[in-house]
Structure 1
Amino acid sequence: MLTSMARFVAKSAQHALPLFKLLRKETAFEWTEECEGALQHLKRALSEPLVLTRPVEGEKLYLYLAVAAEAISAILIRETEQGQKPVYFVSRALQGPELRYLQIEKIALAVIMAARKLRYYFLAHFIIIRTDQPVKQLLARPNMVGRMLKWSLELAEFDISFESRKALKAQVLADFVAEMTTSTTSEKNKWTIFVDGSSNSQGSGAGIILENGDGVLIEVSLGLSFPTTNNQAEYEAFLAGLRLAEDMGAEEITIFTDSQLVASQVSGEYQTKEERLLEYLNLIRAKLAKFKETEVKHVPREHNARADVLSKLASTRRKKAGNQSLIQETLTKPSIEKTAEVMHICAVDEQSWMSPVYNFLKSNTLPIDAKEAAKIRKRACSYVLLDDKLYRRGFSIPLLKCVEEARVEFILQEIHEGINGQHIGGRSLARKALRAGYYWPTMQNDARNHVLKCDKCQRHGDMHLAPANELKTMISPWPFAWWGMDILGPFPTAARQVKYLIVAVDYFTKWIEAEPLAKISAPNILRFFKRDVLARFGIPQVVVTDNGTQFTNKKFQEFLAAIGTTQHFTSVEHPQTNGQAEAANRVLLRGLRRRMGASKGNWTEELHNVLWSYRTTPHSTTGETPFRLTYGTEAVIPVEIGEPSSRIEYPLEEDVNNELLREELDLVEELRTGASLREVTLKQKIAARHDKRIIKREFEVGGLVLRRNQKDAREGKLAANWEGPYRVRAKTENGAYHLEDLYGKEIPRTWNAEKLKQYYTLDANIHARRGNTPCEPHRRSVQARQSTQLAMGCSTLRGIVSNEEIFLDSSLGASQTLGQFPKLLGNGAYDPRHQEATVIVRRALA
């Protein structure tokens, strides 16, 4: 019953504690006066229950807190014209380690309890927590760790704020906070500060103890990571105490120190001659002027023992206090050391993502729109202002410096490709920036884009393994209509100095012709083609070759054109285009390897044996031997002589044999049709299996690409995988592309999409630079500027001048004259975030 009625009873857990203890299993049942008092109090509360009210949507609600030794309570109220009306009471008893919490931690725990139990109210309303305790200051301190930091982050999702407690209009509130009120407001603003500093060979430190009239006690152990004297350490402790008192909202302070020198110099009794101590003294006096009333006293060391112990980071018995907190910090530089400051018109750019949160924390400025204001208040709980700089509370490290958009590129560039960078990936880049202590909302996306546009990362990127387009199968319409030609070698030098092999294969019958050559010159290739292809099988319709100089020779091409044969070239570094010739090469090479003994120089003697074996072996795609598809019958092979087969053992008469051969020729058309169907079926299955692995890659005409690098042996393992960039000039139907350089000069031969990758750049000039090729010195200058620009992370150059072209920023328009252009160069400034393309203005120079 107590639990179900708790929402109607103020501080129900606190008043029912004797009953809860009585009902525990390990406690003997004994009815005491405390139990009787608790029961009577609950009876009175339930006999006159408070009328709870329901809040209006969007209405502000107020939270009051009460903390006892073994229980915490909270009341949620709304303020109306009729007065303050309760909405909900929550309370609970403290258990286990919670009983040993510091008083200030219990107050924070009361806020957390209310936020958890009244979550729906906290999510739907703007909550104002009214308390005279320094909960807000402690939760906002950047050096808080442990549960206080955890609670601060938990409260960040709610739209809450803190304010001092005002006059209590309702009796229920007066009763609720009565036990919490132990001193007047003026007394709570009076703080006593004990400070002490120490310096020895092992290091320096400072100890600070703050205590107010309400019993709030804060202890600070401050490490100094820079060399100091004893007097300087005393001054650092004094300054740290003043800063902490200012953060806590103190108005009247009394400072005790066991240093006679510091106390006398601050009070003006002693003169300060040392220049460095004089700087400390001036800074202290400026701090003291911010308080309404200050007093500095000297005390014996034994009266300042705790501060002395804190300064030496030693252990000692804590001073007993109900509201106590220990903070450990480290100063990295002296307090009097001036930081280089830059004159700012505004600390944060109004267009920056930080501007709304910064303005709210700095001057409590919010947008007019209520929803937007609520969103900013919630976001602001995760941020803190230190020295007029915005920091975000982090999980990996306590504070993350918020970065404006203008500095993002520098941070990413320095981490990614600076002196300590190794061109890591986008995800690692974002996490490294985070661990370095920086934050902005689009870290991961910006890091990915930076890596995506990094020139070196693109050039040294991994090779593509997955196919880029569907497999295009090539089927010859009739025997000896399509031929594939290729060169195989070099082989060990054989008789007549031959070391190469010219290979031609028919796409329909899979018939192979091959001839050893000493030189793979164009005349030798042409002679082989005439003798072994034309003279034996007739004029072909198509010849497929690679891009070797022997096949691109003018005389060879003119001869093919004269006989009406079309020559198809494979894409550069894409031998799959002429896959039939590559397969023939593998067959011949495998056969020669297996037939060679210790002597490799007689490979030419074995070539005809390998060809004979291949021509009389059924092919996997057609199911027939190349010999039968060519001549209509099977050839006699040596094994039929050693072990006579039926046609050798019982030979037919010549007339009958000739008649059967003619019949075979009449039926060869059916044989070839069946072989062609089997080949088509098999290639369709291969294509289907191939197409399952496709990762589609298409490039737009005019876009920039990198192509597979033809590696230089001098670069070895350090050679880049890709080179370029090039511009896409045209696209073919079979997934190949015609390319051009950045000045419009066409690159010979096509490149398959598998050997290309998209190029991303920050240099907008690259996209629009085309036309007449500049002179060589200017080309080198442009390339040097591009490299410098990419390395610096700039997005565009203002202008590049040559004898033929002027590259101008598109924002200036294409009507700029040569008379106006020097003004552009004289300006010398550019916007590194500018991403627009540039235009070319050509003018004839007088």
Structure 2
Amino acid sequence: MKLNPVKCVFGVPSGRFLGYQVHQRGIEVNPEKIQALAKMVSPRTLKDVQRLTGCLTSLSRFIAKSTDRCLPFFKALKKGKGIEWNEDCEKAFQALKDYLGRAPLLSKPETGETLYMYLSVSEVATSSVLVRQEEGIQKPIYYTSKALLPAETRTAIKAQAVADFVAEFTEPSIEVARMMVEQNKKIFKWQLRVDGSSNTHGSGAGVVVSTPEGDSVKCALRFDFKATNNQAEYEALIAGLKVCTVLGADEVEIFSDSQVVVNQVLDEYQARDESMITYLELAKELLERFKEYRIAHVPREENEQADALAKLASATINIWPKSISMIRLLQPSIVKSKEVGAVFGERNSWITPIKEYIVNDVLPSDPLEAKRLKYRATRYSVLNGELYKMGYSRALQRCVGPEEAEGILRSINSGNYGNHAGGVSLAHKTLRQGFYWPTLFADAKRVAARCEACQKIANNIRQPLELLQSITSPWPFTMWGIDLIGPMPTATGGAKHAIVAVDYFTKWVKAEPLVHITKANTISFVKKNILYRFGLPNTIITDNGTQFDGRKFRELCDKYGINNYYASPAYSQTNGQTEAVNKIIKHNLKAKLATKKGSWADKLPQVLWAYRTTKKGSTGETPYSMAYGAEAVIPVETSFSSPRVQLFQPELNIDMLKCGLDELEERRERAQIRNTTYQQRVARYYNSHVRERRFSLGDLVLKRVNPGTRDKAARSLADKWERPYQITGIAGHGAYRITREGFGELPRPCNAQYLKIYYP
């Protein structure tokens, strides 16, 4: 280890460490910070106040009740840019200066000594100080302070009234009052105990109904939707009330360990969330069906049966005891139910007829069905009351009903040792584990397809889904595509990007290096290189960057009557002509620069000149000849004396140029025909690989995660798809408008290449 002598000090009684003055007596404020604060003028702008609060934050350990002292500053910051430095702020500012001028010395605690903490609560904050006692004098060690949330400042009136009432009476009086209340309580014949559970594996609820005869009806609910703890508690209450209604109860006593649900039903708490309001209304509607009811909060340890059922329902492994009824809810109770599946043990499953035939020799009345059952039963046997099938991968495979099949598949696919394999692999693994049912392979494919983790990490779809849509321009310089290249190595003048424009007819290219990508630079480029050079175009195609999708650029297009079209987000093929030219420019720059990558801006004109004077396969002409009617003279012709340079005659050249201009229109027509033929040939090849896939309005889809929105912290383990979105519109040509709940519709259509069906 090497030490810098300049930065090292040894054997000193005191010194500065981490911005504080540390010595044998304790820790003091850095005098330089105090001096800077004393000289600070009263803040006037938002940044000044932010600088002040930042300085005070670093000194908060020395300031008693710092939140109360800084409250005027925090109120001023809430106003944003419209900050007002009022009289209260100035008083607090001067008081802090005075306080920090005599800031306390913080003592250091000794090992094994007793420390004391003092708490102080004001209307807006709670503060504390940790102190130690030395020779009868208490010395501070650390000050803390925390602002109260708005909800914490509003004490419930009823709770406060009860506290005041209790404080006025002695303990014997309370006991007598409690005994009188217990004696006056009515005993209900029906009792309902409910509990809800929500965790990372799932959510569910438990219901226990005690009848007047002393019997108990136990029921567990498994939710096929995500639910919070409070929602699960409400689902449990609603399900329990429905069970009591079916059993004919007219009065019921309800016990729940959810304080929120109980107090909301009793109108002690107010439901603020929209879903909670809906749940509360439904619960009260069900309670009105009873002549009388009472609901009370009980600790969890007094609600053990319902709690155990709720935990069982929310567990990953969904193998249910036959004595317990399981109800599977496909959607919340506040949504009109489409389907509710109830399973009681294995009654009426595919196992029953085979087992009845083997054990009791019972056959169906239909002769054909009886014959078929006899044939099937030859490969089955009953051991210890369970049905087994003689298999090939395992000698005996336990037959399971639909109530267990789902849990087995989910456990093998996404349990602690699951590998999220495909449907066929999942079915094979289930067979090897010793389980069987007739629809195993179909169920395995369904579970694998609906697994949320599998859907989010699935490979990207690269096969084209829509027929190729070619873009053609009717005449030179009527349709331009604009795109950006970069970032690239910093060039002369600080340029890091390049803006490129391509004419769809002549393939003529204009490009300029840019230091910053701004709306002003983009508009200036369009005016100088397109409008003032080639006239007003009919169409400009760009990406969705803010430099193009902004008010000023739109106003420019509207002013000159230009149609501005945007490519689909993250689907560069929509502006394919420009993307193809970008590749050529970058390829040629790499070849020219070698190791001097920072000279790309100087080489850019040479690359553009080379591109403009090279014949294009799609048109059979060079962009230069398509624009000017003649081929340009390049340096090699003058260096090595090409025939047209040697035989150059000015008078004849002028005549030939005029003839070339007369022929230009015909050449452009031939180029357009050739370009159309080229596009058709490309389309035939592209369309031969297309596997069409269309979505309908209302479909739920996953959207491929863009590189810009991918979780950078997860790196290679990041999800490839995000969900859920809903198809709300068809934009045409394989593009769809999608909406995400809570976020609204995306501003641009999304190509089908980046979408796939989501299975909830």
TM-score range, shorter chain: 0.5 to 0.7
Relative distance call for 1:489 and 1:744 in structure 2 (3 A) is closer
Correspondent of 1:591 among 584, 588, 592? 588
SS in 2 for 1:602: helix
The reply to whether residue 386 of structure 1 matches residue 375 of structure 2 is no
Matched, 1:550 2:547: yes
Amino acid at match of 1:583: A
**1:514 and 1:744 mapped to 2: Cα distance?**
38
- Counterpart for residue 707 of structure 1: 703
Decide whether the 8 Å contact of 1:391 with 1:400 is kept in 2. Answer: yes
Partner of 1:705, secondary structure, is strand
Q: Does 1:681 align with 2:677?
A: yes
Displacement of 1:598 after TM fit?
3.1
Contact kept? 1:490, 1:499, Cα under 8 Å: yes
SS at match of 1:732: strand
Query: Is residue 379–residue 389 contact of structure 2 (8 Å, CA) maintained in 1?
Result: yes
Q: 1:551 to 1:341 in 2, by over 3 A?
A: closer
Query: 1-side partners of 2:321 and 2:515: how far apart?
Result: 78
1:752 aligned residue: 751
Cα displacement (A) at 1:348? 6.4
- How many angstroms does 1:718 deviate by? 0.4
Alpha carbons of structure 1 residues 597 and 382: separation in structure 2 relative to 1, 3 Å: closer
- 8 Å CA contact 1:397, 1:437 repeated in 2: yes
The one-letter amino acid of 2:350's match is W
Alpha-carbon deviation of 1:349?
3.7
Shift of 1:659: 3.1
Please tell me whether residue 457 in structure 1 is matched to residue 454 in structure 2.
yes
Q: 2:421 aligned with 1:424, yes or no? A: yes
* 1:484 partnered with 2:481: yes
Task: Say which SS state the counterpart of residue 689 (structure 1) adopts.
Answer: helix
Q: Is the 8 A contact 1:640 1:648 kept in 2?
A: yes
What is the aligned partner in structure 2 of residue 156 from structure 1? Answer: none
Which residue among 561, 577, 581 is the counterpart of 1:580?
577
Matches within 5 A, 1:431-830: 431-654=428-651, 656-710=652-706, 711-743=710-742, 745-761=744-760
Query: Letter of the aligned partner of 2:452 in structure 1?
Result: D
Change (3 A) 1:608 1:431: same
The answer for unaligned runs of 5 or more in structure 1 is 1-339, 762-846
In structure 2, what is the Cα distance between the partners aligned to 1:534 and 1:343?
81
Trace 1:284-323 onto structure 2 (pairs within 5 A).
Answer: none
- Match runs of 1:56-71 below 5 Å: none
Structure 1 counterpart of 2:404: 407
Partner of 2:261: none
Q: Which amino acid aligns with 2:756?
A: K
Deviation at 1:597, TM superposition (A): 3.8
Distance 1:344 1:393, change over 3 A: farther
TM-score after normalising by structure 1: 0.49
Compare 374-383 and 476-485 and name the one that shifted more. Answer: 374-383
Q: Are 1:356 and 2:353 counterparts?
A: yes
Q: Residues 622 and 343 (structure 1 numbering): CA distance in 2 closer, same or farther, change over 3 Å?
A: closer
Contact 2:500/2:509 (8 A) holds in 1: yes
> Does the 8 A contact of 2:323 with 2:345 survive in 1?
no
- Do the aligned residues in 1 keep the contact of 2:468 with 2:686 (CA within 8 Å)? yes
Task: Give the CA deviation at 1:658.
Answer: 2.9
Deviations 1:269-297 (A, max 9, x none): xxxxxxxxxxxxxxxxxxxxxxxxxxxxx
Structure 1 residue 350 displacement after superposition: 3.9
Q: Contact 1:706/1:723 (CA < 8 Å) preserved in 2?
A: yes
- The amino acid that maps onto 1:400 is Q
Q: CA contact under 8 A between 1:353 and 1:404: conserved in structure 2?
A: yes
Equivalent position amino acid for 1:572 in 2: P
Name stretches of at least 5 consecutive residues in structure 2 with no aligned partner: 1-319, 326-342
Letter in 1 for 2:741: L
Contact 1:403 1:440 in 2 (8 A): yes
Contact 1:357 / 1:376 at 8 angstroms: preserved in 2?
yes
Quote the offset at 1:390 in angstroms. Answer: 1.2
Do the aligned residues in 2 keep the contact of 1:348 with 1:354 (CA within 8 Å)? no
Moved over 4 A (4+): 340-348
CA RMSD of aligned residues (A): 1.9
Residue 342 of structure 1 and its aligned partner are, at CA, apart by 5.5
After TM superposition, give the deviation of residue 347 of structure 1 in Å.
10
- 1:544–1:578 contact (8 Å) kept in structure 2: yes
* CA drift at 1:500: 0.8
Is the 1:348–1:358 Cα contact (8 Å) retained in structure 2? no
| Distance in 2 between residues matched to 1:662 and 1:633, nearest whole Å | 10
Q: State how far apart, in whole Å, the 2-side matches of 1:678 and 1:461 are.
A: 41
Alignment of 1:327-338 (within 5 A): none
Distance 2:619 2:650 in 1: 32
> Aligned partners of 1:577 and 1:479: how far apart in 2?
20
Would you say the 8 A contact 1:348–1:355 is kept in 2?
no
Offset of residue 569 of structure 1: 1.2
The question of whether the paired residues in 2 share the 8 Å contact of 1:468 and 1:694 is answered with yes
Distance 2:558 2:448 in 1: 49
Match of 2:364 in 1: 367
- Partner letter of residue 553 of structure 2? F
Give 1:341 deviation, angstroms: 8.4
Spell out the pairing of 1:240-279 with structure 2 (5 A cutoff): none
Deviation at 1:599, TM superposition (A): 2.4
> 2:502·2:577 contact (CA, 8 Å) conserved in 1?
yes
TM-score, normalization: structure 2? 0.54
| Contact in 1 for aligned 2:345/2:403 (Cα 8 Å) | no
Q: Is the 8 Å Cα contact of residues 322 and 344 (structure 2) preserved in structure 1?
A: no
**Cα shift at 1:407:** 1.1
CA distance in 1: counterparts of 2:419 and 2:347, whole angstroms: 35
State which drifts further: 489-498 or 528-537.
Answer: 489-498
Pairwise CA distance, 1:417: 0.6
Give the distance between the partners of 1:583 and 1:379, measured in 2 at CA. 63
SS in 2 for 1:514: strand
The DSSP-based 3-state class of the residue aligned with 1:493 is coil
Whole-angstrom CA distance in 1 between matches of 2:605 and 2:346: 82
Give the C-alpha shift of residue 662 in structure 1. Answer: 2.1
Taking the aligned partners of 1:416 and 1:653, their CA distance within structure 2 comes to 82
Structure 2 CA distance for aligned equivalents of residues 687 and 598 of structure 1: 39
CA distance in 1, matches of 2:713, 2:750: 25
SS in 2 for 1:706: strand
For residues 74-89 of structure 1, the aligned pairs below 5 Å read none
Structure 1, residues 326-370: CA drift from partner, whole Å, max 9, x if none?
xxxxxxxxxxxxxx9865999964421112111112221111111
Alignment of structure 1 residues 4-153 onto 2, 5 Å: none
1:384–1:391 contact (8 Å) kept in structure 2: yes
Distance of 1:393 and 1:594 partners within structure 2:
69
**Contact 2:322–2:346 (CA under 8 A) maintained in structure 1:** no
Specify the SS of the correspondent of 1:550: coil
Q: Considering only CA atoms, is the larger Rg found in Structure 1 or Structure 2?
A: 1
The structure-2 alpha-carbon separation of the partners of 1:342 and 1:530, relative to structure 1 and needing over 3 Å to count, comes to closer
CA distance in 2, matches of 1:379, 1:647: 92
Q: In 1, distance between residues paired with 2:702 and 2:534?
A: 42
Alpha carbons 2:482, 2:501 under 8 Å: kept: yes
Identity %: 40
